[in-house]
């Protein structure tokens, strides 16, 4: 074979490649159009009957040199890629996505801006136990110039025999302390029916890890005009987490803070495994502020400061940590809460590396 002949064939091959490229993309654009119609009509994207029909038509026409099975394989790959393209379109359309809204969502909580580039802190006891207990922590928070006070009134506990929280009484304590110290309250709600009642007492509704896919609760939180702090589920993928937030925003409430709080893995050295890379992924994929809960992710006091530094370095908008005046006697999470001197030290150390 002469060089000329080879060059000529190669040139033809290049041309065929370009034709294929054009055709594959033309096909993709048609699939996208079909996808839009299907989306409008709430039709399923994948239609196996139609796919089989297309494959039959193609293989019937095939007279080599490829085997029928090879042709099927190649076309199935093209079909699959087009279907994924439709799914990307769907992702593009999510209301929480950055594609939908390129600018960061900034949430105002009693004058405190969340998501504006400054690091925020959500600090307080695991559970509200008494007025004195919450007030002591509030005093320490105030002293550090912080604004967001957390405390669980409704506690979703693994065991039904563990302390379940003070309920409405706990919310009243939080509200009283917040008013006295001019703080904003973040507290978990576990039952959609409690939301209306809780609105008067709290500034941010927390939806806990165990309820991340409690769709009725998500919808109820989406129907009101209060910021929501949504925690990642114990075994939730980032995609599931994003879709949980979508449930809230789709009802009209876009004031959502995402909170990475560790996920369940085989690792036993920590209570959960802090998925720190979820922070930049969530920041890229969504326009929502992202916080890191260093307490529940690690379950270890000695890891609170290093993980908080990591959260800060990786671009988190806030850090959540539990503080109790006397963790040894705490009614929940006693192994992982900081006492007040430890909290002071925690804040002082973070101030040395803080970005504001
Ligand atoms: C909490 O923050 O009080 C809590 C129970 O955390 P999680 O839902 O992340 O377990
Ligand atoms: Mn806790």
pLDDT band at 43 (very low <50, low <70, confident <90, very high): confident
278-297 confidence digits (pLDDT tens)? 999 999 999 999 999 999 99
pLDDT band at 212 (very low <50, low <70, confident <90, very high): very high
d(CA 8, CA 14): 10
Report the nearest atom of ligand 1 relative to the CA of 127.
Answer: 3
- Please provide the DSSP assignment of 289-321 as one string: -EEEEHHHHH--GGGHHHHHHHHHHHT-SEEEE
pLDDT band at 147 (very low <50, low <70, confident <90, very high): very high
pLDDT band at 82 (very low <50, low <70, confident <90, very high): confident
Q: Is the pLDDT of residue 88 over 70?
A: no
C-alpha 333 to ligand 2 mean position (Å):
5
What percent of the chain has a predicted confidence (pLDDT) above 70? 97
Residue whose structure tokens are 């101030």: 351
Report the nearest atom of ligand 1 relative to the CA of 210.
Answer: 8
> What's the whole-number average pLDDT of the chain?
95
CATH 3.20.20.70 fits domain 107-354? yes
Q: Is the pLDDT of residue 1 over 80?
A: no
User: Which residues sit with their C-beta closer than 6 Å to ligand 1?
Assistant: 126, 152, 188, 208-210, 231, 261, 293, 296
Per-residue model confidence (pLDDT) at position 41: 86
Cβ atoms of residues 238 and 286 within 8 Å:
no
What CATH number has the domain spanning 3-93? 1.20.59.10
299-332 confidence digits (pLDDT tens)? 999 999 999 999 999 999 999 999 999 999 999 9
Mean pLDDT of 232-243: 98
Domain limits, the chain: 3-93, 107-354
| CB burial readout 1-39, b (16+ within 10 A) else e | eeeeeeeeeeeeeeeeeeeeeeeeeeeeeebeebbeebe
Per-residue model confidence (pLDDT) at position 91: 54
Nearest CA to ligand 1 atom 4: 208
């Amino acid at each position: 074979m002469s060089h000329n002949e080879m060059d000529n064939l190669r040139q033809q091959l290049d041309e065929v490649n370009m034709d294929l490229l054009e055709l594959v993309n033309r096909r993709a654009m048609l699939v996208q159009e079909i996808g839009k119609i299907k989306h409008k009509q709430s039709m399923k994207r994948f239609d196996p009957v139609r796919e089989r029909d297309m494959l039959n038509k193609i293989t019937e026409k095939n007279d080599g040199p490829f085997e029928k099975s090879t042709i099927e394989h190649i076309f199935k790959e093209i079909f699959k890629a087009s279907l994924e393209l439709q799914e990307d379109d769907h992702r593009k359309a999510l209301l929480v996505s950055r594609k939908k809204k390129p600018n960061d969502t900034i949430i105002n909580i009693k004058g405190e801006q969340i998501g504006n580039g400054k690091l925020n802190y959500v600090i307080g006891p695991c559970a509200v136990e008494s007025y004195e207990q919450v007030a002591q922590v509030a005093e320490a928070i105030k002293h550090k110039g912080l604004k967001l006070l957390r405390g669980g009134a409704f506690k979703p506990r693994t065991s039904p025999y563990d302390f379940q929280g003070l309920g409405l009484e706990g919310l009243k304590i939080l509200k009283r302390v917040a008013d006295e110290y001019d703080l904003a309250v973040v507290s978990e709600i576990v039952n959609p029916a409690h939301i209306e009642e809780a609105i008067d007492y709290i500034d941010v509704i927390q939806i806990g890890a165990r309820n991340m896919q409690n769709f009725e609760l998500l919808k109820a939180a989406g129907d009101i005009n209060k910021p929501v702090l949504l925690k990642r589920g114990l075994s939730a993928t980032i995609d599931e987490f994003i879709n949980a937030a979508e449930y809230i925003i789709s009802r009209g409430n876009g004031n959502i803070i995402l909170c990475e709080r560790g996920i369940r893995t085989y690792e036993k050295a920590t209570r959960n495994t802090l998925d720190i890379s979820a922070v930049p992924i969530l920041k890229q994929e969504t326009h929502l502020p992202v916080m890191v809960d260093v307490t529940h992710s690690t379950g270890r006091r000695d890891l609170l400061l290093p993980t908080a530094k990591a959260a800060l370095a990786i671009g988190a908008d806030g850090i959540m940590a539990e503080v109790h005046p006397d963790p040894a006697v705490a009614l929940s999470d006693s192994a992982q809460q900081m006492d007040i001197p430890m909290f002071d030290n925690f804040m002082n150390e973070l101030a040395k590396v803080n970005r504001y």
